[in-house]
Amino acid sequence: MGDTMSSANNILKILVGIVILAIGVVWYTGIPGVFGGFLRELLILIEASVGLFLLFVGLIIAWMGYDDYKMDIEMAKEEKKEEKK
């Protein structure tokens, strides 16, 4: 019974996601005669998001490099301690 409900919930989530995706596409492309659409605003949003995305990706990569650097130093200290024993 639990697997059936889980599958039904997943299918429902997929359908809701597809409907929301379709509404988003129609919102930005527009329906001729109903409303013009907001494609220009979508392009501005994407353009603005690229810089923010690059900022966060750069920050994460730099943080990972720093963490690896610290870990290498720690491991070198541990190896020196083991060599002395």
Query: pLDDT tens digit string along 33-63?
Result: 666 677 778 888 889 999 999 999 999 999 9
Q: How does 36-71 read in b/e, with b if 16+ C-beta sit within 10 Å?
A: ebeeeeeeeeeeeeeeeeeeeeeeeeeeeeeeeeee
Mean of the pLDDT values across residues 53-75? 94
pLDDT of 34 reads 66
pTM over 0.85: no
